[in-house]
Amino acid sequence: KKIAVLPGDGIGPEVVKQAIKALDAVAEVYNHEFEYKEALVGASAIDAVGDPFPAETQEVCETSDAILFGAIGDPKYDNDPKAKVRPEQGLLRMRKVLGLFCNIRPVTSYKILENASPLKPEIISGVDFVVFRELTGGIYFGEPRGRSENGETAFDSMVYSKEEIKRVSRFAFEAAGRRKKKLTLIDKANVLATSRLWRETVKELGEAEYPEIEIEYIFVDNAAMQMIQNPAQFDVCLTGNMFGDIITDEASVITGSLGLLPSASVGNKIGLYEPIHGSFPQGAGKNIANPVATILSAAMLLETSFGMAEEAKSIRDAVEQTLNESIVTPDIKAEKHYTTEEVGDAIAE
Amino acid sequence: KKIAVLPGDGIGPEVVKQAIKALDAVAEVYNHEFEYKEALVGASAIDAVGDPFPAETQEVCETSDAILFGAIGDPKYDNDPKAKVRPEQGLLRMRKVLGLFCNIRPVTSYKILENASPLKPEIISGVDFVVFRELTGGIYFGEPRGRSENGETAFDSMVYSKEEIKRVSRFAFEAAGRRKKKLTLIDKANVLATSRLWRETVKELGEAEYPEIEIEYIFVDNAAMQMIQNPAQFDVCLTGNMFGDIITDEASVITGSLGLLPSASVGNKIGLYEPIHGSFPQGAGKNIANPVATILSAAMLLETSFGMAEEAKSIRDAVEQTLNESIVTPDIKAEKHYTTEEVGDAIAE
Ligand SMILES: CC(C)[C@H](C(=O)O)[C@@H](O)C(=O)O
Ligand SMILES: CC(C)[C@H](C(=O)O)[C@@H](O)C(=O)O
């Protein structure tokens, strides 16, 4: 199995390295062979070849069976509004080109992290849901977009077709079937025409193909409230690109486990797996970054792209064990702290 | 002074009644005369005359000096996607027609409510910020919007002009000048052309007219995280219509004081004041709704529309006193609970 490895910027390379240790351990125990091919992406790719998603990287991705991604972003581009090439452009192009239209983000609360959560323990206890975000449509890509000729007006277009909505919805319905048979659609159907199409399409699809799944509809502003007041009510959520961007980031901090949350972006045959957290430039090179989110992303990769459920579970179990033994990086409250490398070694071990 | 009174739906009428008691008390003590004119709005207006914002209501608003608004919304319209006339349409039309382009939502934490907040006390301690949301532009009103001819595709347009951005930004800059001289613009400039126009325009306006105000730029997904992780960092926030809808609702629940938060919508000469909470249909007619948010909205009305700062303060002081004396409705944890009427009476008293 070929795995494209895109470490990216900031702490990306350090955490990806630990995930590879875990993959190597799995390969040894279960007798698999993983071939890694590294490629440039993000700010480091701009610095090296002037393009945040170079053709060579695309080639590496397209000839692999799955992609392991670190993180991208560098303040030197973030703070320069005039920068012509930006790391984000590479990210968006990559999603589009590779057909990664479905972003999957599980959110789980960990007992050991109750101290780290900004929310009260009774609010986050038992939180365990997953958000499906459409990732290659909506206002991120809709045309027309730009400026009027005199520069006085700007515009963006939120566009969705039934087909785009259906294909991502199927992923969410399938997951709901494996979980609690409930799907929550997050939209703004009281204002947006696109949201009304979402509602209509999801309802039709549900009735036609997933009659056993109960569908709940909730406005995005209300969802942003409920996510804080009662996140345990959610199980499988489904939403568009823009609302998903906001809601998944909000969701990622409620349990205090940002450093532990993996994600997958799928659609075409090649899936991409990455931690939810960013490139954390201030932490780069210090051997302090939490590698768990990336290691759990590798587990998602094994399960989702390679159908290796047992192997994935072995990684998850190892992560749980190290957490229980308090072998954790400094972002997690503990008596003693370990380095990125040490945590990576312990999990692989 | 003429005040248009639009009680609306659900608990709206009950809480508005208490606010009028407070206004009457102010009138007596400070020797003012307030003339109230009631009008229909929302679901109750649809039920009565088939229009959520009837021409007569518009007329009442336009011939008043300020508007006191309750809440609108009724589940019988919410859950019927095919309903031709919806309460929200009235709300949006009202905002547009009355030129209420600037929505102002202060968020304050109250010591007495620390128990009620889903967030930990150390996170919300000292939270005191205000969000300025553009209210008559962006994707809420942009054209084109609708469906393709074959019905397979839907689209909405997010449109902003420099002028629209400037006029709402001035309100935020002025507030920042009276507060901590810091303004946080919330946008998605790494993806949206409209957000880049926001950034450019706010920067230009700041440099030209408010050089003493420090401007901070933050992406909306990050803002949704920060609002939970460290809300005390915010002071004056400024954002567009759609992002404002999500962020202000998120903000309104972090301190547990949803029942206490007022809001103002201004722009033209006639301002509108309303509680942040909704119509809470399950609580209607039970004399249990918390009237404080509406009473504090009346205080905002006095200060903002009538320049009656002292009178407004007298209402705020009265509210604080009743809170300190635990004269509160059942939504607030206390040994003994009071009815809507009783809390309203105590504050007026
Ligand atoms: C960097 C940015 C363009 C991106 C997005 O908005 O999709 C990021 O926030 C994410 O969620 O992956
Ligand atoms: C009811 C709805 C149209 C409205 C909005 O989205 O503006 C509401 O959520 C609000 O924030 O006042």
Q: Does domain A102-259 have CATH number 3.40.718.10?
A: yes
Distance CA A91, CA A104 (A): 16
Kindly determine whether residue A191 and residue B139, on different chains, have CB atoms separated by under 8 Å: yes
| Rounded-to-integer distance, Cα B161 and Cα B197, Å | 8
- Reduced to 3 states (helix: H, G, I; strand: E, B; else coil), residue B71 is strand
Q: Return the closest-CA partner of residue A316 out of A14, A32, A13, A22.
A: A22
Residues of A with CB below 8 A from B202's CB? none
Tokens of residue A236, six digits: 């499988």
Q: What is the mean pLDDT of residues B173-197?
A: 97
Residue nearest to atom 12 of ligand 1 (CA): A245
What share of chain A has pLDDT > 90, as a percent?
90
The answer on pLDDT for B83 being more than 80 is no
Ligand 1 midpoint to CA A219 (Å): 21
**A6/A287 Cα distance (integer angstroms):** 19
At residue B330's C-alpha, the angle toward residues B329 and B335, to 5°, is 95
Instruction: Flag whether residue B121 sits within 8 Å of chain A, measured between CB atoms.
Output: no
Give mean pLDDT, residues B3-18.
98
Alpha-carbon distance of A238 to A172, in angstroms, equals: 6
Q: Give the closest residue (by CA) to ligand 2 atom 1.
A: B88
CB contact under 8 A, A252 and B225: yes
Take residue B254 and report the two structure tokens written for it: 């972090």
Question: Is residue A96 less than 8 Å (CB to CB) from chain B?
Answer: no
Distance CA A43, CA B92 (A): 42
pLDDT of residue B241: 98
B245 annotated among ligand-binding-site residues: yes
Mean pLDDT, rounded, of chain A: 95
The band of B111, judged by pLDDT with boundaries at 50, 70 and 90, is confident
In the predicted model, what is the mean pLDDT of residues B306-331? 96
Every domain range in chain A assigned CATH 3.40.718.10: 1-101+267-349, 102-259
- Residue whose CB lies within 8 A of the most ligand 1 atoms, among A41, A89, A91, for a mutation test: A91
CATH superfamily, with its number, for domain B103-257:
Isopropylmalate Dehydrogenase (3.40.718.10)
Indicate if the pLDDT at residue A113 is higher than 90.
Answer: no
Tell me which chain A residue has its CA closest to the CA of residue B84. A190
- Closest ligand by atom to B249 CA: 2
User: Given pLDDT bands bounded at 50, 70 and 90, which one contains residue A16?
Assistant: very high
Rounded Cα distance, B20 and A346, in Å:
66
Helices B241-254, A241-254: axis angle to 10 degrees equals 20
> End-to-end distance of chain B based on CA atoms, in angstroms?
22
Q: Residue B82's pLDDT is what?
A: 66
Q: What's the pLDDT score for residue A257?
A: 86
Predicted local distance difference test score (pLDDT) of residue A74: 87
Residue A211's pLDDT is 98
Nearest by Cα to B90 from B129, B44, B33, B149: B44
B107 to chain A, closest Cα gap in Å: 14
Write the pLDDT tens digit of every residue in A134-176. 999 999 999 999 999 999 999 999 999 999 999 999 999 999 9
Q: What is the pLDDT of residues B245-294, one digit of tens each?
A: 999 999 999 998 899 999 999 999 899 999 999 999 999 999 999 999 99
Locate B111 and state its tokens: 């010591």
pLDDT value of position B20: 98
* pLDDT for B327 beyond 80: yes
Q: Which residue has the least CA distance to atom 6 on ligand 2?
A: B245
Residues 6+ apart with CB under 8 A from B310: B30
Percent of chain B at pLDDT exceeding 90:
90
Determine the average pLDDT of the residues in A226-253.
97
Residue B78 has pLDDT above 90, yes or no: no
Residues of A designated as active site: 140, 188, 221, 245, 249
Q: What are phi and psi of A9, to 5 degrees?
A: -110, 170
Q: How confident is the model at residue B121 (pLDDT cuts 50, 70, 90)?
A: very high
Does CATH number 3.40.718.10 belong to domain B1-101+267-349? Answer: yes
Q: Is the pLDDT of residue A112 over 90?
A: no
Question: Using CA positions, which residue lies closest to atom 5 of ligand 1?
Answer: A245
Local confidence band at A116 (pLDDT 50, 70, 90 cut-offs):
confident
Mutate to test the interface with B, among A105, A157, A220, A280 (most CBs of B within 10 A): A157
Q: Which of A279, A295, A267 is nearest to A168 (CA)?
A: A267
Tell me the per-residue pLDDT of A176-193, one tens digit each, with 9 for 90 and over: 999 999 999 999 999 999
Residue B44 pLDDT greater than 70, yes or no: yes
Chain A residue numbers with beta carbons less than 8 Å from the beta carbon of B252 are 225
CA pair distance A153, A138, nearest whole angstrom? 20
- Distance, in Å, from the CA atom of A87 to the CA atom of A80, rounded to the nearest integer, reads 12
Average pLDDT over every residue of B16-21: 98
* Verdict on whether the full-model pTM lies above 0.85: yes
Count of CB atoms within 10 A of residue A178's CB? 8
Could you say which of B140, B199, B247 has the minimum Cβ distance to residue A191?
B140
The whole-number pLDDT of residue A175 equals 97
Pick the residue of A221, A239, A248 with the most B CBs within 10 A to test the interface with B by mutation. A221
Ligand 1 closest atom vs CA A248? 11
The pLDDT mean for chain B works out to: 95
pLDDT at B81 over 70: no
Chain B residue at shortest CA distance from A248: B221
**What pLDDT shows up at residue B167?**
98
Predicted local confidence at residue B86, as pLDDT: 83
The pLDDT tens digits for A82-93 are 677 888 889 999
> Is B188 considered catalytic here?
yes
Residue B346 confidence (pLDDT): 98
Q: Any CB–CB contact under 8 A between B337 and chain A?
A: no
Is B221 annotated among the ligand-binding residues? Answer: yes
Looking at residue A115, what is its pLDDT? 83
- The number of angstroms, rounded, from the C-alpha of A80 to the middle of its chain's C-alpha atoms is 26
Shortest-distance Cα residue to atom 3 of ligand 1: A88
Structure tokens at B73: 């919304």
Residues B118, B273: contact at Cβ < 8 Å? no
* Residue A261 and residue A130 in contact, taking contact as beta carbons nearer than 8 Å: no
Q: Is the pLDDT of residue B152 over 80?
A: yes
Residues A314-328 have pLDDT tens digits of 999 999 999 999 999
Q: Determine the straight-line distance between the first and last CA of chain A, rounded to whole angstroms.
A: 22
**B154·A146 Cβ contact <8 A:** no
- Cα separation, A73 vs A173, whole angstroms: 33
pLDDT band at B74 (very low <50, low <70, confident <90, very high): confident
Interface with chain B: mutation pick from A153, A161, A185, highest number of B CBs within 10 Å: A153
Smallest CA–CA separation between B203 and chain A, in Å? 11
Active site residue B221: yes
Scanning B160-189 for CB atoms below 8 A from A yields: 160-163, 188-189
- In chain A, which residue's Cα lies nearest the Cα of B194? A154
Q: For B218, phi and psi rounded to 5 degrees?
A: -145, 140
Cite the beta strand spans of A162-235 per DSSP E.
Answer: 182-187, 214-219
Taking residues B203-225, report their average pLDDT.
97
